[in-house]
Amino acid sequence: MNYVATIGLETHVQLRTRSKIFCGCSTAFGAEPNTHVCPVCLGLPGAMPVLNREAVRLTVISGLLLGCRINGSSKFDRKNYYYPDMPKNYQISQYDRPLCLGGGVEIRTGAGPKTVHLTRIHLEEDVAKNLHFDRSSGIDFNRAGTPLMEIVTEPDLSTADEAFEYLQALKQILLYGGVSDCNLEEGNVRCDLNVSVRPEGSPTLGVKVEIKNMNTFKGVHRALTYEIRRQIDVKLRGGSLVQETRRWDDEAGVTESMRTKEQAHDYRYFPEPDLMPVVLDEATIEAWRATLPELPAARCERFVREYGLPEYDAGVLTADKALADFFESAAKASGNFKAVSNWIMTDVMRVLSERGVAIASLPLTAAALAGLVALVDRKTVNMPTAKEVFAELIDKGGDPDEIVKRRGLGQVSDAGAIEGFADQAIAAHPGPAAEFRAGKAPALQFLIGQVMKLSRGKANPQLAADVLRRRLGGGT
Ligand code: ADP
Ligand code: ZN
Ligand code: MG
C-alpha cells in the first residue's frame, strides 16, 4: 500500500512593534534579563492589560496581504494552563473570534503552483523564557507579552518540501509587508507541525501528530522528513498511531513523544474580562488596505514591464525586498536599467553570497552604483577599471567619480597621448601595420590591443581605433 502525508502548520510570528502587546515595555531583543518588565507582563495579580493598537494593525495588514477576511468584531480569550514561564496561569489569545479568517499562500511545487489555504490568523501574547544553568534555572520575562500572530493553515501540505516553500513564501510576504523582522536567529518565527499519513486515495485524514516549537526552516524540513517516514513505517509494519505531541531532537535527528491525547490540556477558554472586544469599522480597514505594499509577484511583473528586465532577472531582484528597493533607486537614478540590473545580478549578488550578508550591510549605495554605470556609459572608464572602482565601493563605499579622480583611473581620451601610444605600437609592430595598410582589417584589432597595453588599459578604445586608422593612412 502507498501512503501519503498530510501537513498543517501553525506559525507564530513576532510582530514588529516597539512595545509589548498589553503594556508599554520594550520588545527590544538581547537586553539584560528582566529589565523590560512591569506588573502586567510579569503577570502580577491585579495588573490590567491595555491592547497595543499597532499589534492589531500589523495583524490586519498581514491578513489583507494574505487575502484573509478581516473580522470586524473579534475578541480575546484566556487559554488556561500552568507553566513557570507564564505565572498568570493563562495566556491571552483569541479563540472563537480571531482577527483574520481564510486567505492563502501561493507556493511553487514540482507539479506547478499551489495555494496553501489559511484557516485563521489570531493575535496572542508570547510567554517568558526558561533558562537552564548548571545547578539552577531562571526565567527571563523580557519576552513575555511580546505580540505574536499565529497563522494556521488548513491541512493542505503534503511534503516537507512544500512546507519549506510555504514558510519561505510566507516570510517573504511578511517582510514585504514590514509586519515582522522574521529574524529566525532571534526566534521571530516559530512553528508547530501537524502531520498524519493515510493510504493514497483515502478520503479521511489519518491520526495527527503535533511537533512543537520548531525555530528553523531547515529543522522543519528535517523533522517532517523524519516524522513522515516514521509514521509510514509504523503503518507498513501493521502498527497504529496515536494522537500525540512530539518534540524534535535536532542533534539526534529524531522526534520523540512528549505527551499523548489523554494527557492533553483542556484549556478551558473563556472571554478575557479585562479587555474590550476589538471592533474595526470598514473605514479603518479600508484606510489600512490603502497602505498595503506591492507584493513580490506584482513587483516582478512591473519590473519586466517598466524596466524591460528579463523575467528571470526580475524574479531574482524582487525575491528580496531590500534588493528590489536597491535596484529601483539605482535604476531611477541611472536611467540605464539593464546595466544596473547586470551589476546587481552578477557582482553585487556574488559579494552578498560570498559574505553571507544582506544588501543593507554593504557600504555600496544605490546612488554610487548609478554613478558607476554613468562612468562606463560616458566612457570615462572601461569595464576592467569599473570593476576596480566597484571593488572599492563594496569595501569602503564612497563616490565613484571621486575614486576615479583620486586613483587616476580615468580613460585617456586625450588625442595627443593616444597618438603617442599609436606611434609606439606601429613602430614596434611593423608587420601588422603593413598588413592593415594592405587591406587586412583584422590587423587593426591587434594594434588597438597594443595601444591599450601601452596605456595600461586606460586608453579609450574607440579613440585608439580612430587614431590608428588615421596614422596608417587612408583615413578609412
Ligand atoms: P487542534 O484542535 O488539535 O489544535 P486543529 O483542527 O486546530 O487541531 O488543527 C491544528 C492544525 O493541524 C491545523 O494546521 C490543521 O490544518 C492541522 N491538521 C488538522 N488535522 C490534521 C491531520 N489529520 N493531519 C495533519 N494536519 C492536520
Ligand atoms: Zn510590561
Ligand atoms: Mg488548534
Label each residue of 405-444 as H, E or C: HHHCCCCECCHHHHHHHHHHHHHHCHHHHHHHHCCCCCHH
Pick from 343, 371, 374, 373: nearest CA to 359: 343
Instruction: Assess if residue 70 is contained within a domain.
Output: yes
Instruction: Assess if residue 360 is contained within a domain.
Output: yes
Together in a domain, 233 and 313: no
Ligand 2 mean position, distance from CA 60 (Å): 23
Instruction: Assess if residue 106 is contained within a domain.
Output: yes
Instruction: Assess if residue 278 is contained within a domain.
Output: yes
Residue located nearest, by CA, to atom 14 of ligand 1: 8
pLDDT tens, N- to C-terminus, the chain (476 residues): 899 999 999 999 999 999 999 999 999 999 999 999 999 999 999 999 999 999 999 999 999 999 999 999 999 999 999 888 998 999 999 999 999 999 999 998 989 999 999 999 999 999 999 999 999 999 999 999 999 999 999 999 999 999 999 999 999 999 999 999 999 999 999 999 999 999 999 999 999 999 999 999 999 999 999 999 999 999 999 999 999 999 999 999 999 999 887 777 789 999 999 999 999 999 999 999 999 999 888 999 999 999 999 999 999 999 999 999 999 999 999 999 999 999 999 999 999 999 999 999 999 999 999 999 999 998 888 888 899 999 999 999 999 999 988 887 877 767 788 899 999 999 999 999 999 999 898 899 999 999 988 887 778 888 889 899 998 885 44
Together in a domain, 266 and 301: no
Pocket flag, ligand 1, residue 362 (CB < 6 Å): no
pLDDT attached to residue 281: 96
| Domains identified in the chain, total number | 3
Together in a domain, 7 and 141: yes
Q: Is 164 within 8 Å of 220 (Cβ atoms)? A: yes
Q: Cα angle at 92 between 94 and 39, to 5 degrees?
A: 155
pLDDT attached to residue 410: 75
Together in a domain, 318 and 260: no
Together in a domain, 335 and 457: no
Pairing of strands 209-214, 244-249: parallel
Pocket flag, ligand 1, residue 455 (CB < 6 Å): no
Pocket flag, ligand 1, residue 98 (CB < 6 Å): no
Together in a domain, 54 and 84: yes
Tell which of 263, 286, 309 closes a domain: 286
Together in a domain, 463 and 388: no
Pocket flag, ligand 1, residue 196 (CB < 6 Å): yes
Q: Which segments of 269-334 does DSSP mark as H helices, in order?
A: 282-289, 296-307, 311-318, 321-334
Ligand 1 mean position, distance from CA 96 (Å): 16
Q: Which residues, including other chains, have CB under 8 Å from residue 272's CB and lie 6 or more apart?
A: 49, 75, 76, 77, 78, 92
* Ligand nearest the Cα atom of residue 52: 2
Element (H, E) at 354: helix 349-355
Pick from 461, 458, 451: nearest CA to 407: 458
Instruction: Assess if residue 291 is contained within a domain.
Output: no
| CATH number of domain containing 439 | 1.10.10.410
Q: Domain residues for 176? A: 3-286
CA–CA dist 326, 319 (Å, integer): 12
pLDDT attached to residue 457: 78
**Residue 38, number of CB atoms within 10 A of its CB:** 15
Instruction: Assess if residue 390 is contained within a domain.
Output: yes
Together in a domain, 393 and 439: no
Q: Which residues, including other chains, have CB under 8 Å from residue 232's CB and lie 6 or more apart?
A: 3, 5, 197
Ligand 3 mean position, distance from CA 6 (Å): 16
Pocket flag, ligand 1, residue 153 (CB < 6 Å): yes
Ligand 1 mean position, distance from CA 102 (Å): 15
CA–CA dist 53, 56 (Å, integer): 5
Residue located nearest, by CA, to atom 7 of ligand 1: 152
Pick from 119, 124, 121: nearest CA to 151: 121
Together in a domain, 221 and 350: no
Q: Is 212 within 8 Å of 227 (Cβ atoms)? A: no
8-state DSSP, 6? E
Pocket flag, ligand 1, residue 231 (CB < 6 Å): no
Instruction: Assess if residue 466 is contained within a domain.
Output: yes
Atom of ligand 1 nearest to the CA of 156: 16
Tell which of 265, 286, 307 closes a domain: 286
pTM for this prediction:
0.81
Element (H, E) at 469: helix 461-471
Together in a domain, 316 and 438: no
Ligand 3 mean position, distance from CA 289 (Å): 28
Atom of ligand 1 nearest to the CA of 205: 23
Tell which of 407, 428, 452 closes a domain: 407
Pocket flag, ligand 1, residue 8 (CB < 6 Å): yes
Together in a domain, 310 and 188: no
Pocket flag, ligand 1, residue 49 (CB < 6 Å): no
Q: Cα angle at 50 between 48 and 56, to 5 degrees?
A: 145
Instruction: Assess if residue 167 is contained within a domain.
Output: yes
Together in a domain, 440 and 401: no
* Ligand nearest the Cα atom of residue 5: 1
| Mutation choice for ligand 1 from 7, 167, 208, 242, CB with most ligand atoms inside 8 A | 208
